[in-house]
Structure 1
Amino acid sequence: MKTNLRRTLAGAAALAVGIAPAAVGGGPVAAAPHTTRTADTSAAPGNYDARRDPAVVGKFTTKLAKPPAVAGDMRAELGDQGIVDLDRLTGTPRQVARLDGFLTGPSRKPAVRVALDYLKSHAALFGVDPATLKLRRDYVDIEGTHHLSFLQQVGDVPVFGNGIRADVARNGALIQMTGAPVRQMPDSLGGARLTAAQALDTARRDARETRSTPSDKAHLVAFPTVAGLRLGYQTLTMQSGYLHVIDAETGRVLYRQNLTANDAGPDALVWDNYPGAPAGGKQRRVSLSRWLSPHATTLTGNSAHVFSDLNDNDVADAGEEVGPSSPGHFRYPIKEFTGELCSAQFRCTWDPFVAYSWNANREMDATQLLYFNSVFHDHLLAAPIGFTRAAGNFETRDGDPVQVNDLDGANTDNGFPDDNHVDNANMSTPPDGTSPTMQMYLQPAANTPASEDPYVPSDTGNEASSVYHEYTHGLSNRLVVDAAGVSTLNGPQSGAMGEAWGDWYAYDYLQKEGLERDTRAPGELVVFEYSTAGANTIRTEPLDCTVGAPATVCPGTPTAGPGGYTYGDFGHISRRGPEVHADGEIWAQTLWDLRTKLGYRLTESLVTRAMELSPADPSYLDMRNSILMSDLVVDRGRHQRDIWKVFANRGMGFFAAAVDGSDTAPVEDFSMPPSPHSARSSISGTVTDQGSGGPAAGVSVTFGGHSSGFAGAYAAVTDADGHYRINNVFVGTYPKVAAGGAGFESQVKTVTVTRRPAVVDWTVRRDWAASQGGATVADFNGDDYSGFGCGPGQAIDMSQGSGWSSDAVITEGTAIEPRFVTVQLPSAVDVTSIEVNPTGNCGDDPSSSTGDYRVETSADGAAWTVAATGHFGPADRDRMNAVPLAGGTEGVRYVRYTMLGTQVADEGGTCPSQATGCSYVDTVEVGVYGAAAG
């Protein structure tokens, strides 16, 4: 994926974060990802899921730290490497599996009966009556594994996203169950106030779409919420590619998923890599008979349709189809251009300083894309990958060939591409049955020197790795799905794996075919080398960088260090924090290690089977577990130790930790699994509230890597006296044991567990402004960017990885119209400290950090006292800062925090300029500390 970014000011050239220079020093700075947060109808709103709303997550986190007894019984039954992972919303299993075996033994029963019998025998855990389930799909992969999807229904209305999936091996053994079903299904959901047409209109408005397409559709679903199931419409709108669930009564958006993963017989003349590549860089004649009909008049094949979408309206208008150069032939020799970055190895195909120059190679570009799409379709179709029709691949006969829009938007600015149609490529993948859309753009920006936009002048579709990367988004989004077939790659970790799979599958194929060179020496596989004339700038490191590789070939970044990346580098590779392309490098390098260890054929099979076995919205650790399970399926578990060694070396060892796929600060660990007969002990203790000196009830005590169902659930919740106890802990040293939650800041310790039971006490500080502890946003002003994950609620979510961003309306110099958030505390507090992290977030650069500020307090929300004023500077970024309190500290029930300026001037800039602080003002977190009044 190469995500297109727009600079804040109208008319400025665009860069792309996915293919932007990775260096953190001088040179151009790409605009923030959320600069699309404008009134522009081309803006792309982010994903949203009411089931994963921060309020829901906070409410259920401590509940799952003390799971029901039936879950504990199941964990005991499955053993040390068992997984019983409960969903926060439903309280039912998100995943039940074992890493050291299957759930049941071999059986001659039909696969459906194996799954239903298991559900029946564990009805108390899953909370469903198997007789009420509807089998939606029984997909058999090339290894003979049945992948069963069962829908829950209220009458004829299916439940959205929360059914049951079961995987049954060829020999009839049950591999795992996933899905998080809904308990206590109602008899009916009542009627819908909205029509399907109205729901589609609502979805289009929410997605900033301006027209309908023939593929748009809507049907009723039952959507799980905290208050129970809601009747809604699942809609698909394909102008820009969105799937929504719209509440059928209120019209509220319950779910939004951007289906576009952004980034980059007849015969024909084609190359196999990129124009000028040392291997596969020369045009050669190939037969297209496997993909095109003998009398084809357009590039419409058996799995793809390619045309030049010059005006970006997603349809082939007059003059945009590409026909044969002569009857039966698509022979279009490259017409070469010269320029600063053009060379014999990196040949250029247009001149960004000459209008319409892209027309010289238009037919050649499109023909090349038909070839790349068709070759990769066949590669993924064949064993051992097996992306077949049953798996949901892309076939013209099934009505969902890839619609490839080449030179997308090349003529949107008088013969040039405008700023929204350069340096990019993307793949939008709806559920099976509807065509995905691949869009390939020109690079670089028109009339822009190479020093400002350092990309080889070409169509991104001329580079095999760019096309294969985008195509792989189609593979992963069709395989990692819920019971209804909707992709669940929505979180930071799963999104990063989506980018990583794109890189890995592309270079796996190119290296296997001898088109890219990879020896035992690290640092040889530069990702997307054609786009930047061989510079290692699209990714921060080559794909084959091993842990500890020298900085001369694997330079890393200042925030993550040199050498191959490990799990603890997540969120630190990009200087702006978590970012899917940067963080995906960890996963891509890990899979390359696995390929080196096991060989490409076995690794292709394991990685693909793991996608099919994955739970919804997986973390890296979820997918590690799925790869281990896929080895049990494919080769009877013969490679378990080698797989563990690879992942442990990358920090994803037995005790590595991640809350879920949305965790942007995972804990790395390099341990192999302990022996089943290793000694065990226990820990216990008391947790004290720092503010009151009394016991802290409801606080979770968790071991990194053991708090979500994996390997025994090392977790407990303090009782009314602040006491907790955790039994059956393997003897050893645990570097990250934490106490926190319920509004208390997490405290982390290194705990050594010996044969003698350990006593570990804690003192935790309560943040009275935390939404997890009952605080709420009572009021705010300015633009609401909650849909982008950076609304006012993110200022009180106890996360330093997310924050509040608002519009900055410049009044004079770098002063702005005030932007405030009012927080209602859960009770009156005698305040001892108020702390603020003013850092720019939501993809903005540091200039968007808050500069001047004001803090006010109130006992009733009516009469206010100015408690603090001041200015935050660069030294105050990336940390909580205590503000000097001048008064208004007793009996406080409301706190109002106001952003009065940005840090543009601190950066040495002025407005207007490209600095995001001229458009947005941000704060990461506001915390309030003290003791309950009285």
Structure 2
Amino acid sequence: MTTDLRRTLLAATAVLAIGFVPAVTVAGSATAAPHPTPAPGKTPVPADYDARHDPATAGLLDATATLLAAKPPAAVSSMRAALGLQGIVDMDALTGTPRQVAKLDGFLTGPSRKPAVRIARDYLTAHADLFGVDPATLKLGRDYVDIEGTHHLSFRQQVGDVPVFGNGIRADVARNGALIQVTGSPVRQVPAGLAGAKLTGSQALDTARRDARETRSTPSDTAHLVAFPTSGGLRLGYQTLTMQSGYLHVVDAASGRILYRQSLTDHDTGPDALVWDNYPGAPAGGKQRRVSLGSWISPSATTLTGNSSHVFSDVNDNDVADAGEEVGPSSPGHFTYPFKEFTGPLCSAQFRCTWDPAVAYSWQANRAMDGAQLLYFTSVFHDHLLAAPIGFTRAAGNFETRDGDQVEVNDLDGADTDNGFPDGAHVDNANMATPPDGTPPTMQMYLQPAANTTPDEDPYVPSDTGNEASSVYHEYTHGLSNRLVVDAAGVSTLNGPQSGAMGEAWSDWYAYDYLQKEGLEKDTAKPGELVVFEYTTAGANTIRTEPLDCTVGAPATVCPGTATAGTGGYTYGDFGKISRRGAEVHADGEIWAQTLWDLRTALGYRLSESLVTRAMELSPADPSYLDMRNAILIADRVVAGGKHQGSIWKVFAKRGMGFFAATVDGSDTEPIEDFALPPAAGSPKSSIAGVVTDRDTGLPAAGVAVTFGGHSSGFAGSYAAVTDAAGNYQIKNVFLGTYPKVAASGNGYERQVRTVTVTKQPGTVDWAVRRDWAASQGGAQLVDFSGDDYTAYGCGPGQAIDMSPGSGWSTDAVLTEGTAIEPRFITVQLPAAIDLTSVEINPTGNCGDDASASTGDYRVETSPDGTAWTVAASGHFGPADRDRATAVPLSAGTTGVRLVRYTMLGTQVADEGGSCPSDLSGCSYVDTVEVGVYGAGG
């Protein structure tokens, strides 16, 4: 569960342009950019951010990736040929080294009696040209052996004594000594040294705290030097951990710039004790019963400190147990606190209430009971995840008090932040912040609903989220996934829209897998029975859009879906369509959760628990859905000798993740679904070729990528080519069939998609594509802008020229009169002087703002040299111009144009029938999605 934050993560375009990211003021560094001022009642939270995926270099990386696919180095071609049809050689465009080398129909090497480390190093030595590293220079950071006997080796690269951040090599070796796969994207040719640091570790921590909006330090805060890979090479930085709100940063040690930001928090939602096993009033497990806590807590315990979690009531939300916040025994050796029931509109025999949102401090009546219940839930689930076949052990990074790594459970978090009530930031939610192994995670459980609200305003059963087993197990599973899907340094890589969605999906799946297995939740062959968080919503299916067990084609009466995604169970093509806001991790996670429930139905819970967990351990960094599909197939070969490959493929193919399904990477919010099983060996192949030309000039378009969207998931032989100087391309060895999404795009040319049928006779497919001269990926540069810079939220000025309708530019709107505002502009330098034929603008509100923030009055100016400027167009955008590119009428300044300046002069508040001041977004912000410039080179 998660709060509705203004600045949601636009992960497909999470940006870092070195010149735009806020920095603390230190000697030799730039002045800090101001933090964005939230609209009334809204608190912005910095989005996750990684300089390695900066849109400023996206065009270069896209071109490099396509070139690697179309014209791979000899070492890559050789490896792909050796691995065969189901081999994977997935290259990282930033490093030019493999992100993953594996094969789904076998292992990389045969059985061996050599030590696992030796097996891995020998393989790297044999393929040094491919991996680009000297195995002798790699430092073994971890050799974790899972419960199936698989060695998970992590090798770290170093520059002297400074470890390389994120990149490195992970190798997985089966019990019999066979090398399963190699992942990691190592840095090729690590230098002997780096420039010295200008900041201290303390200054880096201050920078990180300021960037994360944190106001104080905690005992767990740390800083150490790392070498951070960028498109310009390795940079010395400080990796910091700040745990007031849970962030991991990398701060440039010379400039103080933020190179990396990752929230560690996933929002959501002896002695004896009286507990329930599900939620108060549930048909199964809904009555208090007496249990012994002796397996988890000392007989003489005076607080709820168990062997894997510490529970206290953090009613003032300062993350420490102050006087009166620990939960002590009801009497020596007993934590038996009977449930005290409340009444209200949503309270019933099945959904019993634990507090009264209209009465201050009423939550105190069940405070101690809530704490004992949470100690029970977290301890039970710890033991469940520890046991086979899941095997989340100490070696795997689980949570143990003896390791100083227990879950710090903050119950009733913020319950007394508003005179006996929780404030608006401490209701209707739950979260789990999971730092790397060795630092205790924090689980926070809030009250619901908000004080003095009606069910129509806040339709949640009055309770503590810690009273519901599924909510607690969901949050706890975030700890499992964030400790298993990691880079070579053990840092979670669930950062992208697809990996983040899987994080939410795993949390739902593991929770209900356990509850159904224990007979606490009903699941028959009938779809639509498993309503996620049913206690929270009094049985209404409102936190998720569909029940967990919705199958493809299930009736709308029980699996209603959404207007944008349709009814029945979801498929891969629904990604980004389930929520009206576009890609959203909880909504899109339903696709993965339902798919895994299908897998559980097909294979049984025990084997599924094993395969899904092993796949996390085998996953490459920041996985896509297809990466995890592949990891599950590999896990089946590890666990069961590949006996279930056919069944697994059928499950994923039915959900649109078949052999030809496609995604660029884990940040792709528009993946292509496919329902095909792997083609049989020896199936016929053919080829296509053609010419790509510029639509405006008729001249050849060089550097344009032609790709088969249905066959680019990382398998050997992905179908792609890049046009040469004459615009020619050719793609060979294509399986016969009809491909619905073959595309030509790149180098500043807009994507054109068509259906192509490949027959035995080689085919000709020509393209005429249109160039957007203002596109950053085509060489245009943002040289100036005004207004607040929200790059850290994925909606900075650079988003106006990134050719992505899924992101846009948002900045502050300072009102001058009516809905007129102080001018907010961007200046774009085109890669060449052109004669304009069209300027097209999508003025729509974005970055979480409502439609009133769409640009109203506007001005477009052009210049040949940056000195003389001509007004080329001006006017007003209205509601009819939203959600599309609108061509503006050009009246002058259309020849020899080298720079274009676009200025937002007003919002659409008046068009919405509103005025300022008010809660309309347009009273605080003004937005534009995209600016496109078209014409012919002058």
TM-score by length of 2: 0.95
What's the counterpart of residue 915 of structure 1? 920
Q: Secondary structure at the match of 1:565?
A: coil
Q: For 1:299, which of 266, 284, 304 is the aligned residue?
A: 304
**Residue in structure 2 matching 1:486, options 488, 491, 494:** 491
Q: Percent of aligned positions with the same letter in both sequences?
A: 80
CA drift at 1:42: 6.7
SS in 2 for 1:159: strand
Please name the residue that 1:791 is paired with: 796
Alignment of 1:481-560 (within 5 A): 481-560=486-565
CA deviation digits over 1:674-697, x for unaligned, max 9?
A: 111100111111110112211001
d(CA) in 2 for partners of 1:257 and 1:625? 26
| One-letter amino acid of the structure 1 residue matched with residue 893 of structure 2 | G
Residue in 2 that maps onto 1:402: 407
Give the SS at the match of 2:374.
helix
* 1:461-510 CA distance string (max 9 Å, x none): 11111111111111110000000000111111111111111111111111
1:281 maps to what in 2? 286
State which of 689, 692, 703 in structure 2 corresponds to 1:687: 692
Is residue 660–residue 712 contact of structure 2 (8 Å, CA) maintained in 1? no
> Separation in 1 of the partners of 2:786 and 2:280?
52
Equivalent in the alignment of 2:277: 272
Structure 1 position 577, deviation (Å): 0.9
**Contact 1:157-1:222 at 8 Å conserved across structures:** yes
Q: Is 1:54 aligned to residue 59 of structure 2?
A: no
1:884 corresponds to:
889
Shift of 1:788: 1.1
Q: Are the counterparts in 1 of residues 40 and 919 from structure 2 also a CA contact under 8 Å?
A: no
For residue 768 of structure 1, give the secondary structure of its aligned residue in structure 2: coil
Check the 8 A contact 1:803/1:842 in 2, yes or no.
yes
Distance verdict in 2 for CA 1:888–1:16, change over 3 Å: closer
Do the aligned residues in 1 keep the contact of 2:225 with 2:238 (CA within 8 Å)? yes
Q: Are residues 1:832 and 2:837 paired? A: yes
Between the aligned partners of 1:785 and 1:7, the Cα distance in structure 2 is 12
1:167 & 1:741 partners in 2: Cα distance? 36
Q: CA deviation at 1:918?
A: 2.9
Query: 8 Å contact 2:9–2:793 — kept in the other structure?
Result: no
Shift in Å, 1:37: 4.7
What is the CA–CA distance in structure 2 between the aligned matches of 1:404 and 1:847, rounded to whole Å?
A: 41
Alpha-carbon distance in 1 for matches of 2:239, 2:40: 25
CA shift for structure 1 position 43: 4.5
Contact 2:710 2:739 in 1 (8 A): no
- Determine which of 823, 847, 859 is the counterpart of 1:854: 859
Q: Which amino acid in structure 1 is aligned with residue 393 of structure 2?
A: T
Which of 57, 71, 96 lines up with 2:76 in the alignment? 71
Q: 1:391 aligns with which of 378, 393, 396?
A: 396
> What does residue 574 of structure 2 align with?
569
Contact 1:6/1:36, CA 8 A, preserved across alignment: no
CA distance in 2, matches of 1:340, 1:275: 16
Quote the residue 1:247 is aligned against: 252
Residue 28 (structure 1) aligns with: none
Residues 134 and 152, structure 1, Cα contact 8 Å, conserved in 2: yes
Q: How does 1:327-726 map to 2 (within 5 A)?
A: 327-707=332-712, 709-726=714-731
Pick one of 202, 212, 218 that aligns with 1:207.
Answer: 212
Partners of 1:285 and 1:489 lie apart in 2 by 39
For 1:449, give the aligned amino acid: T
1:192 corresponds to 2:197: yes
Contact map agreement 1:37 1:785 (CA 8 A) in 2: no
The aligned counterpart of 2:2 is 3
1:802 matched to 2:807? The reply is yes
**Matched position secondary structure for 1:160:** strand
Task: Say which SS state the counterpart of residue 153 (structure 2) adopts.
Answer: strand
Q: Aligned pair 1:45/2:46, yes or no?
A: yes
Q: Quick check: 2:346–2:455 contact (8 Å CA) kept in 1?
A: yes
Matched, 1:734 2:750: no
Q: Displacement, 1:443?
A: 0.8
Residue deviations 1:252-286 (CA, integer Å, cap 9, x gap): 11111111111121010111111111111111111
TM-score (norm. length: structure 1): 0.95
Q: Higher mean Cα deviation, 320-329 or 822-831?
A: 822-831
Pick from 865, 871, 878 the counterpart of residue 866 of structure 1. Answer: 871
Secondary structure of the structure 2 residue equivalent to 1:446: coil
- The AA in structure 1 aligned to 2:908 is Q
The letter for the 2-side match of 1:49 is: D
Partner letter of residue 778 of structure 2?
G
For the residue of structure 1 that corresponds to 2:389, the secondary structure is coil
Residue 423 of structure 2 aligns with an amino acid whose one-letter code is D
Whether the 8 Å contact between 2:710 and 2:741 is mirrored in structure 1 is no
Q: Distance in 2 between matches of 1:7 and 1:734?
A: 39
Moved more, 275-284 or 49-58: 49-58
Distance 2:614 2:701 in 1: 45
- C-alpha contact (below 8 Å) 2:661/2:713 kept by paired residues: no
| Partner secondary structure for residue 246 of structure 1 | strand
**Deviation at residue 333 of structure 1 after TM alignment:** 1.1
1:313 and 1:347 mapped to 2: Cα distance? Answer: 29
Distance in 1 between residues matched to 2:222 and 2:661, nearest whole Å? 42
Q: CA deviation digits over 1:161-200, x for unaligned, max 9?
A: 0100001111111111000001111111132221111111
Cross-structure match for 1:26: none
1:349 and 1:458 in contact (8 A); partners too: yes
Paired amino acid for 2:141: R
Alignment partners' CA distance in 2, 1:349 and 1:904: 43
Displacement of 1:708 after TM fit? 5.5
| Structure 2 CA distance for partners of 1:319 and 1:42, relative to 1, 3 Å | farther
Question: In structure 2, what is the Cα distance between the partners aligned to 1:277 and 1:912?
Answer: 47
Shift of 1:16: 15
CA distance in 1, matches of 2:672, 2:380: 40
Q: Is the 8 A contact 1:803 1:924 kept in 2?
A: yes
Distance in 2 (alpha carbons) for counterparts of 1:629 and 1:56: 33
Separation in structure 2 between the aligned mates of residue 41 and residue 530 of structure 1, nearest angstrom = 27
Task: Give ranges in structure 2 of 5+ residues lacking alignment.
Answer: 11-34
Tell me how far 1:889 sits from its aligned partner: 1.4
Q: Do the aligned partners of 1:568 and 1:667 also contact (CA within 8 Å) in 2?
A: yes
Distance in 2 separating the partners of 1:284 and 1:905 = 60
1:705-730 Cα deviation digits (max 9, x unpaired) = 43363241211111110111111111
Paired residues, number: 910
C-alpha deviation, 1:39, in angstroms: 11
Cα deviation, 1:593-648, whole Å, max 9, x if unaligned, reads 11111111111111111111111111111111111111111111111111111111
Counterpart code for 1:662: S
2:13 alignment partner in structure 1: none
Which residue of 2 is the match for residue 22 of structure 1?
none
Q: 1:899 aligns with which of 897, 901, 904?
A: 904
CA distance 1:676–1:99, shift in 2 (3 Å): same
Could you tell me whether the CA contact under 8 Å between 1:703 and 1:738 is conserved in 2? Answer: yes
**Cα distance in structure 2, aligned partners of 1:795 and 1:822:** 11
d(CA) in 2 for partners of 1:284 and 1:811?
65
Q: CA offset at residue 40 of structure 1?
A: 10
> C-alpha offsets along residues 644-681 of structure 1, whole Å, 9 cap, x if unaligned?
11111111111111100110111111111111110011
Shift of 1:562: 1.0
SS in 1 for 2:167: coil
2:160 alignment partner in structure 1: 155
- Which whole-Å CA distance do the structure 2 matches of 1:36 and 1:540 have between them? 32
Which residue does 1:24 correspond to in 2?
none
Unaligned runs of 5+ in 1: 9-14, 18-33
Q: 2:284 and 2:701 mapped to 1: Cα distance?
A: 65
Q: Which amino acid aligns with 1:53?
A: D
1:756 lines up with 2:761 in the alignment: yes
Counterpart Cα distance in 2 of 1:655 and 1:55: 30
